[in-house]
Amino acid sequence: MNLTQEDWISQFEADENAVILDVRTEDETNDGIIANAILIDIHKGQGFIDEIEALDKNKNYYVYCRSGMRSAKACEIMNELGFENTYNLLGGIIEWDGEVVAP
């Protein structure tokens, strides 16, 4: 499900089962990440699938990338793998108004 930044943040903050997932490359994440994000690069192909499959499917995943395109794809892949609650951040980190921290 695609969410605006405002909805993504308010839903995440109210969600005790939330996990933030950053699917950008290592070079991109070096510029800063959203606090407490797990980093799994979608460009890793099968490595990405393997790392995703190791995650808890009972959690709710708030996914982002640079612009929202790769994270939308990541949500699709996760849904196919049996994750029911994935939320894509529309606009990605380039439109993020919140704080970022070092990875």
Active site residues: 65
CB contact burial 64-102 (16+ within 10 A = b; e otherwise): bbbbbebbbebbeebeeeebebbbbbbbbbeebeeeeee
